[in-house]
Structure 1
Amino acid sequence: MRTKDISMVAMMMAIIIVLGMIPPIPLGFIPVPIVLQNLGIMLAGIVLGAKRGGLAVALFLILVAVGMPFLSGGSGGFSVFLGPTTGYLIGWFISAILIGLGQEKFMTTKNWGIKFLIVALPGVLLVDLLGSIGLSIVTGMNLSAAIISSAVFIPGDTLKVILVIIIAERLLKVIYRKERVVY
């Protein structure tokens, strides 16, 4: 990896960590809170691509697993991977890679609907599905009840997807304009 790649991965990890400093919003009917960190996960995939975005999220999750309190609300440690949020955390890693795989199409299309699908399908629907499966396994909640409970995240996550698209469009123009000049 080049120095630029390492710097971009580190910067994206820092963004995800900073988003974790914003307090979570707990919900009474599901043991998983509303957080802003998934916005950083989606940004990692779309801005850095599959390899670097996946690496940023993987390194972030490793730091969390070894005990760094980087998740929203200051939680960390391996136990979070055994709790109700485990499916969501696994989903974050997979979604960053899948969103990153759509990066080239995202950059070349002007169609907002396609851009929305590239980010929302893995970044919201897949994460919520995997989160629901993990929630069901860990808590013993019926899978359909877990899926219905996770639906509460969709409106806020939809707004996050729109914000990610707006940010990514601007960042990608700057990043790739400068790369063309360098090469």
Structure 2
Amino acid sequence: MKTKDLVIIAMFTALIAVLGLLPAINLGIGVPFTFQNLGYILAGCLLGSKRGGLSVLLFVILVALGLPLLSGGHGGFGLFFGPTGGYILSFPLVAYLIGLLTERQFHQMSVWQIFLINGLIGALLCNLIGGIFMAFNLHMPILKALKTVIVFIPGDLVKGLIAAILAVRLRNIPSIKRYLNTL
């Protein structure tokens, strides 16, 4: 892996951490509404599967080591065993899958095509994994947990749309376009 790839991976890890500075919205169900998933969705869109997945995996490792990078200044290995653990663990997978589905045809894809991928993977799959994990951690029926996390889907779809718009706009900036052409 080239130095510029490592720098880009680190920069996206930092971007996801910075998005954690935005205050979480507590919906009273044990899992807050945050803006960090915008970062991992965008990492998948712009960096592709390998680099996007690695940037988010690095973020998750830093959180596990105790760095307070999650929204609200949370971090630590114990979070992986609470209601939000499934979401945190799904982040690298989601970034990887979004990258896998967008990287080959990214330059020809429209905002709506990228949004469809972001919505299916970034909103639906993430909430499915997070909801199932939450059910086990809170000892509740899976169906009840999945009904509970439905509240996140509209906001996550909006974040998926924002990421799609940003990705399409950013891919036309000459320096970014040169980098994306090397993926």
Q: What are the ranges of 5 or more consecutive residues in structure 1 without an aligned counterpart?
A: none
Q: 1:113-128 maps to which residues of 2 (within 5 A)?
A: 113-128=112-127
Name the amino acid aligned to 2:148. S
Match of 1:55 in 2: 54
Post-superposition offset of 1:160:
0.6
Match of 1:10 in 2: 10
Match of 1:178 in 2: 178
Match of 2:105 in 1: 105
Post-superposition offset of 1:43:
0.6
Higher strand share: 1
Post-superposition offset of 1:113:
3.5
Q: 1:77-92 maps to which residues of 2 (within 5 A)?
A: 77-92=76-91
Give me the TM-score of the superposition, normalised by structure 2: 0.93
Question: How many residues are treated as equivalent by the alignment?
Answer: 180
Q: What are the ranges of 5 or more consecutive residues in structure 2 without an aligned counterpart?
A: none
Residues 1:58 and 1:142: Cα distance change in structure 2 (over 3 Å): same
Q: 1:133-152 maps to which residues of 2 (within 5 A)?
A: 133-152=132-151
Post-superposition offset of 1:177:
3.1
Give me the TM-score of the superposition, normalised by structure 1: 0.93
Deviations 1:45-98 (A, max 9, x none): 111100000100111000000100000111100000011011111211110000
Deviations 1:120-174 (A, max 9, x none): 1111100000000100000011111111111001111111111101110122222
Give yes or no for contact 1:106–1:118 (8 Å, CA) kept in 2: no
User: How far apart, in 1, do the equivalents of 2:76 and 2:35 lie?
Assistant: 19
User: How far apart, in 2, do the equivalents of 1:130 and 1:75 lie?
Assistant: 20
What's the % identity of the aligned pairs?
Answer: 46
Q: Secondary structure at the match of 2:61?
A: helix
